[in-house]
Amino acid sequence: MVSRILWGDIINILECKNMNLVKNNQHILHHISFSVERGDRIGIIGPSGSGKSSLFRLLNLLISPTDGQILYHNKNIQEYAPTELRRSIGYILQKPYLFGTMVEENLLYPYQLLGKKPDYNELGSYLDKVQLPKNIIEKKNTALSGGEQQRVALIRSLLMKPQIILLDEVTAALDETNTLLLEKLIIDEQTLHQATLLFITHNLEQAKRLAQKIMYLEAGHITFLGSVATFFGEKGEQYE
């Protein structure tokens, strides 16, 4: 059985302290400082190129900050083994990535990683929630549409029961029906497991539906971090 990062009594599950990211002599993120409470739902918005995806890559240990610190459960994120961290911080991209050849490999992988026997009832329940047939598990990855791949990738991540869920525009290429399906699944899972949700979106209506707080990034700076009501009341009109 693999080890798990435990909740404990920590209120701030995640904290960034004066973090900078410089790449190819370009300052991507400037003096980023913020904290995330357990159970937060934060919508991250801002112009393209403002550093939103780079921030998520930092939080998932795909890249390292030039300086500053990221703390997860009051421990520097660099001190975690990447595989351990990524079991607890799930990261789903706009363009879904399925590994191997078959859908089955992806959907059974979380059970293998956690040292558990596959629970086909649980798996079937997830498939039902996003309106995928149970026999999709027998298909090749290449036989799936982009929307089906995205739903499989999301289920694969949620089966890990992550403490933090990072979503990088995961519904951007989906139609309204599938967007609402995924949103409902995400919020249901986040609520059920008291997880923390950070999501990047250019859809302001989606931000209003899902977020409790808004982080606005512009040119690598956080220019706003506060409640949804405050953001759209004070600044929303200029972004609508």
Closest to 28 measured CA to CA, from 70, 59, 83, 66 = 66
| Strand ranges in the chain using DSSP code E only, listed in sequence order | 12-23, 26-37, 41-45, 67-72, 75-76, 89-92, 164-168, 196-200, 213-218, 221-227
Domain count, the chain: 1
Q: How would you class 154 by CB atoms within 10 Å of its CB: exposed for 0-12, middle for 13-18, buried for 19 or more?
A: buried
The answer to whether residues 144 and 104 touch, using CB atoms and an 8 Å cutoff, is no
Domain that holds residue 154: 12-239
Tell me the average pLDDT of the chain. Answer: 90
Q: What are phi and psi of 172, to 5 degrees?
A: -60, -35
CB 138 within 8 A of CB 118: no
Would you say residue 4 lies in a domain? no
**Is 78 a member of any domain?**
yes
Give Cα 107 to chain centroid, integer Å. 18
Q: What is the model's pLDDT at position 2?
A: 35
Asked whether residue 114 is assigned to any structural domain, the reply reads yes
Residue 216 within any structural domain of the chain? yes
Report the predicted TM-score, pTM, of the whole model to 2 decimal places: 0.90
Res. 234: pLDDT tops 70: no
Q: Is residue 45 part of a domain?
A: yes
What's the pLDDT at 9?
47
Residue 6 lies in a domain: no
CB 145 within 8 A of CB 96: no
pLDDT one-digit tens code per residue, 106-130: 999 999 988 999 999 999 999 999 9
Confidence category of residue 15, pLDDT binned at 50, 70, 90: very high
Is 51 inside any structural domain? Answer: yes
Answer whether residue 63 is part of any domain. Answer: yes
pLDDT beyond 50 at 157? yes
Give the separation between CA 115 and CA 92, rounded to whole angstroms.
Answer: 22
pLDDT tens, position by position, 62-96: 999 999 999 999 999 999 999 889 889 999 988 88
Write the CATH number for 158. 3.40.50.300
